[in-house]
Amino acid sequence: LRKRCRCYGYSVIVETRAVDCGPQTDNRITVTPAPSLITIASLHVYPVKSCRGVERTDARLTEAGLEHDREWMIVTPQWRFVTQREQPRLALIATGLDQQGLNLSAPGAPTVAVPFDFKGDSVQATVWRDRCNAHDQGDAVAHWLSDFAGRPLRLVRFDPAHRRPSD
Protein backbone atom coordinates (compact mmCIF):
# COMPACT_ATOMS: atom_id res chain seq x y z
CA LEU A 1 0.00 0.00 0.00
CA ARG A 2 1.53 3.32 -1.08
CA LYS A 3 0.08 6.63 -0.05
CA ARG A 4 1.37 10.14 -0.75
CA CYS A 5 0.44 12.75 1.81
CA ARG A 6 1.43 16.28 2.74
CA CYS A 7 2.29 16.86 6.35
CA TYR A 8 3.24 20.32 7.68
CA GLY A 9 4.48 21.37 4.26
CA TYR A 10 6.45 18.17 3.65
CA SER A 11 5.57 15.68 0.93
CA VAL A 12 5.90 12.14 2.27
CA ILE A 13 5.31 8.76 0.67
CA VAL A 14 4.25 6.14 3.19
CA GLU A 15 4.46 2.48 2.23
CA THR A 16 3.00 -0.30 4.38
CA ARG A 17 3.14 -4.03 3.74
CA ALA A 18 0.87 -6.65 5.25
CA VAL A 19 2.25 -10.17 5.57
CA ASP A 20 0.70 -13.54 6.39
CA CYS A 21 2.27 -14.50 9.70
CA GLY A 22 0.73 -17.80 10.60
CA PRO A 23 -1.23 -20.87 9.69
CA GLN A 24 -4.99 -20.84 9.47
CA THR A 25 -6.72 -21.55 12.76
CA ASP A 26 -10.51 -21.79 12.85
CA ASN A 27 -10.66 -20.27 9.37
CA ARG A 28 -8.72 -17.19 10.50
CA ILE A 29 -5.50 -15.89 9.08
CA THR A 30 -3.38 -13.74 11.33
CA VAL A 31 -2.08 -10.77 9.39
CA THR A 32 0.48 -8.52 10.99
CA PRO A 33 1.58 -5.36 9.23
CA ALA A 34 5.30 -5.02 8.58
CA PRO A 35 7.00 -1.89 9.90
CA SER A 36 6.18 1.12 7.76
CA LEU A 37 8.74 2.25 5.25
CA ILE A 38 8.68 6.02 4.92
CA THR A 39 10.24 7.71 1.92
CA ILE A 40 10.63 11.46 1.87
CA ALA A 41 9.88 12.59 -1.68
CA SER A 42 11.06 16.16 -1.11
CA LEU A 43 12.20 18.21 1.85
CA HIS A 44 11.83 21.97 2.05
CA VAL A 45 12.48 24.47 4.81
CA TYR A 46 10.78 27.85 4.79
CA PRO A 47 13.12 30.11 6.80
CA VAL A 48 10.89 33.19 6.42
CA LYS A 49 7.15 32.75 6.90
CA SER A 50 5.34 33.60 3.62
CA CYS A 51 8.49 33.55 1.43
CA ARG A 52 9.89 30.89 -0.89
CA GLY A 53 11.45 27.83 0.68
CA VAL A 54 14.78 26.08 0.33
CA GLU A 55 14.99 22.50 -0.91
CA ARG A 56 17.17 20.38 1.37
CA THR A 57 18.74 16.96 1.11
CA ASP A 58 18.79 16.74 4.90
CA ALA A 59 17.58 18.73 7.87
CA ARG A 60 18.18 18.80 11.59
CA LEU A 61 15.12 18.14 13.75
CA THR A 62 14.78 20.36 16.84
CA GLU A 63 12.13 20.61 19.55
CA ALA A 64 10.37 23.27 17.45
CA GLY A 65 10.53 21.28 14.19
CA LEU A 66 13.03 21.44 11.34
CA GLU A 67 15.96 23.74 12.07
CA HIS A 68 15.42 27.28 10.69
CA ASP A 69 11.91 26.44 9.42
CA ARG A 70 9.72 29.56 9.79
CA GLU A 71 12.28 31.07 12.16
CA TRP A 72 11.87 34.56 10.67
CA MET A 73 8.74 36.52 9.84
CA ILE A 74 7.91 39.69 7.93
CA VAL A 75 5.89 42.18 9.95
CA THR A 76 4.39 45.66 9.73
CA PRO A 77 5.90 48.54 11.74
CA GLN A 78 3.23 47.64 14.37
CA TRP A 79 4.80 44.12 14.62
CA ARG A 80 1.84 42.29 13.01
CA PHE A 81 2.82 39.50 10.62
CA VAL A 82 2.20 39.88 6.89
CA THR A 83 0.93 37.07 4.66
CA GLN A 84 1.13 36.50 0.91
CA ARG A 85 -2.63 37.08 0.76
CA GLU A 86 -2.15 40.74 1.60
CA GLN A 87 1.32 41.10 0.04
CA PRO A 88 1.57 38.70 -2.95
CA ARG A 89 5.10 39.90 -3.85
CA LEU A 90 6.43 37.96 -0.83
CA ALA A 91 6.14 34.84 -3.01
CA LEU A 92 8.97 36.26 -5.15
CA ILE A 93 11.44 36.51 -2.26
CA ALA A 94 13.90 33.63 -2.35
CA THR A 95 15.49 32.54 0.90
CA GLY A 96 18.88 30.95 1.38
CA LEU A 97 20.87 29.70 4.34
CA ASP A 98 24.64 29.50 4.59
CA GLN A 99 27.15 29.24 7.43
CA GLN A 100 26.78 32.95 8.25
CA GLY A 101 23.02 33.32 8.20
CA LEU A 102 19.91 34.05 6.14
CA ASN A 103 20.06 35.52 2.63
CA LEU A 104 17.11 37.13 0.85
CA SER A 105 16.96 37.82 -2.87
CA ALA A 106 14.24 38.95 -5.26
CA PRO A 107 13.91 39.98 -8.91
CA GLY A 108 15.45 43.41 -9.48
CA ALA A 109 16.86 43.64 -5.95
CA PRO A 110 20.32 42.94 -4.56
CA THR A 111 20.77 40.10 -2.07
CA VAL A 112 20.60 41.09 1.58
CA ALA A 113 22.23 39.04 4.35
CA VAL A 114 21.08 38.66 7.95
CA PRO A 115 23.72 37.06 10.21
CA PHE A 116 22.64 34.25 12.53
CA ASP A 117 24.24 36.07 15.47
CA PHE A 118 22.33 39.34 14.88
CA LYS A 119 20.15 40.04 17.89
CA GLY A 120 18.19 43.25 17.53
CA ASP A 121 15.68 44.87 19.85
CA SER A 122 13.20 42.56 21.60
CA VAL A 123 9.64 43.00 20.34
CA GLN A 124 6.23 41.38 20.74
CA ALA A 125 5.05 40.26 17.30
CA THR A 126 1.47 39.26 16.57
CA VAL A 127 0.64 36.14 14.54
CA TRP A 128 -3.13 35.91 14.13
CA ARG A 129 -4.21 36.19 17.80
CA ASP A 130 -0.95 35.03 19.37
CA ARG A 131 1.79 37.29 20.72
CA CYS A 132 5.33 36.00 20.22
CA ASN A 133 8.66 37.17 21.55
CA ALA A 134 10.95 38.09 18.68
CA HIS A 135 14.00 40.15 17.77
CA ASP A 136 13.95 42.86 15.13
CA GLN A 137 16.55 42.10 12.45
CA GLY A 138 17.63 45.66 11.79
CA ASP A 139 17.17 48.59 9.45
CA ALA A 140 19.14 47.23 6.47
CA VAL A 141 16.82 44.28 5.86
CA ALA A 142 13.79 46.44 6.77
CA HIS A 143 14.73 48.94 4.03
CA TRP A 144 15.30 46.09 1.56
CA LEU A 145 11.86 44.56 2.30
CA SER A 146 10.12 47.95 2.24
CA ASP A 147 11.71 48.92 -1.09
CA PHE A 148 10.76 45.59 -2.67
CA ALA A 149 7.20 45.51 -1.30
CA GLY A 150 6.45 49.21 -1.73
CA ARG A 151 5.33 49.58 1.87
CA PRO A 152 7.00 49.70 5.30
CA LEU A 153 7.97 46.22 6.50
CA ARG A 154 10.42 44.71 8.97
CA LEU A 155 11.92 41.27 9.58
CA VAL A 156 11.84 39.62 12.99
CA ARG A 157 13.32 36.37 14.23
CA PHE A 158 11.49 34.33 16.83
CA ASP A 159 13.24 34.41 20.20
CA PRO A 160 14.77 30.95 20.77
CA ALA A 161 14.61 31.46 24.55
CA HIS A 162 10.81 31.33 24.37
CA ARG A 163 9.27 28.13 23.09
CA ARG A 164 6.41 28.46 20.71
CA PRO A 165 3.96 25.60 20.28
CA SER A 166 4.32 23.40 17.24
CA ASP A 167 2.37 20.33 16.23
pLDDT tens by residue, 47-83: 999 999 999 888 888 887 888 999 999 999 999 999 9
CB 113 within 8 Å of CB 95: no
Q: Bigger pLDDT: 26 or 95? A: 95
What is the value of pTM for the model shown? 0.75
| Distance of alpha carbon 140 from alpha carbon 13, whole angstroms | 41
Average pLDDT over residues 127-146: 95
- pLDDT for res 142: 98
Task: Give me the chain's average pLDDT, please.
Answer: 82
Q: Is the pLDDT of residue 91 over 80?
A: yes
